[in-house]
Amino acid sequence: MKLEFHFDFGSPNAYLSHLVLPEIESRTGLKFDCIPVLLGGVFKATNNVSPGISLQGIKNKPEYAALETRRFILEHGIENYNFNPFFPVNTLQIMRGATYAKKTDFFDQYVREIYQHMWSEPKKMDDPDVIAKAFDVSGLPGKDIIAAMQNPEIKLALIQNTERSVAMGSFGSPTFYVNEDIYFGKDKLQDLEKAITLLKQGVD
C-alpha cells in the first residue's frame, strides 16, 4: 500500500494534519511518504486560490471555517498551534529546502522544525535572515540547505513534485493518497484511516 501526504508549509490545515498523522500511522502500522510540493504552483496549475481569497466577502463562511478549526484542535488535543501573523508566507525557499532535505537523513527533523517555526512559534519564514536563524536554532545544517535552495536540480525536483501532484488529482493542501485514491482536507482524516484499515484487512 502506497501512502502519500503532499504538503506545503504554508497551509495551516496541512500543519494540523501533520500533527495527527502519527496517530493514524500508529494505529495502522503504516507510514506516510511526505512529498514536498509548492502550493502556489498547484493553485496556478488548477486555477484555484487559497481560502483566504476565496472566502473574502462571504458572510458566515469564514467564521464557520474558524469554528471547524477550533473543533479539530479540541478533538485532537492540539496545544502547539498559533496562527502565523505574517500569513500568507511565500514558502518557495523552505519548500526547496524540504526537497533537498528529502534526500538526506534529516528530512523528518526538517519538516518537524519548519512546521514549528511556521505554526507553533510563528515567524516570517520567507525572510532569508529569519530562515537562517531558524535553521541554527533547530540544529539544522543551514549553510548546506541554503546553498541547495539555489541548486537547479533541487528547483527542478520541486517543480516535478508539484506537477506530479497535480497530475494525480491535487488542487490544494493538505492532500493525501492511498494508492491512487485522493483524500483532501483535514476533515477527511477519518475516511482516510478507514480506507487504509479496509485495504490492510484485505491484504492480510
Is residue 75 within 8 A of residue 106, CB to CB? The reply is no
* pLDDT for position 204: 45
Q: Give tens-digit pLDDT for 154-193.
A: 999 999 999 999 999 999 999 999 999 999 999 999 999 9
Q: Quote the cell numbers at residue 80.
A: 502547539
> pLDDT-based confidence at 113, cuts 50/70/90?
very high
Average pLDDT of the residues in 126-133: 98
Integer angstrom CA distances of residue 174 from 86, 138, 152: 20, 24, 26
pLDDT at residue 12 greater than cutoff 60? yes
- Specify the CATH number for the domain of residue 64: 3.40.30.10
- Split into its structural domains, the chain has a count of 1
User: Which amino acid makes up residue 20?
Assistant: V
> pLDDT-based confidence at 202, cuts 50/70/90?
confident
> pLDDT-based confidence at 54, cuts 50/70/90?
confident
Q: How many Cβ atoms sit within 10 Å of the Cβ of residue 145?
A: 23
| Percentage of residues in the chain having pLDDT higher than 70 | 99
| H and E: helices and strands count for the chain | 10, 4
Q: In a 3-state reduction of DSSP, which class is residue 146?
A: helix
Q: Give tens-digit pLDDT for 137-157.
A: 999 999 999 999 999 999 999
* pLDDT for position 143: 97
Q: Name the residue with higher pLDDT: 202 or 179.
A: 179
Burial letters for 2-21: b for 16+ Cβ neighbours within 10 Å, e otherwise?
A: ebbbbbbbbbbbbbbbbbbb
| Percentage of residues in the chain having pLDDT higher than 90 | 91
> Using N-to-C axis directions, what is the helix angle for 152-168 and 39-46, rounded to 10°?
50
Residue 106, domain extent: 3-203
pTM of the model as a whole: 0.93
* pLDDT for position 203: 56
- Phi/psi region, residue 160 (left: phi>0; alpha: psi -120 to 50; beta: rest), is alpha
The conformation of residue 176, written as its DSSP 8-state character, comes to E
Q: Give tens-digit pLDDT for 18-40.
A: 999 999 999 999 999 999 999 99
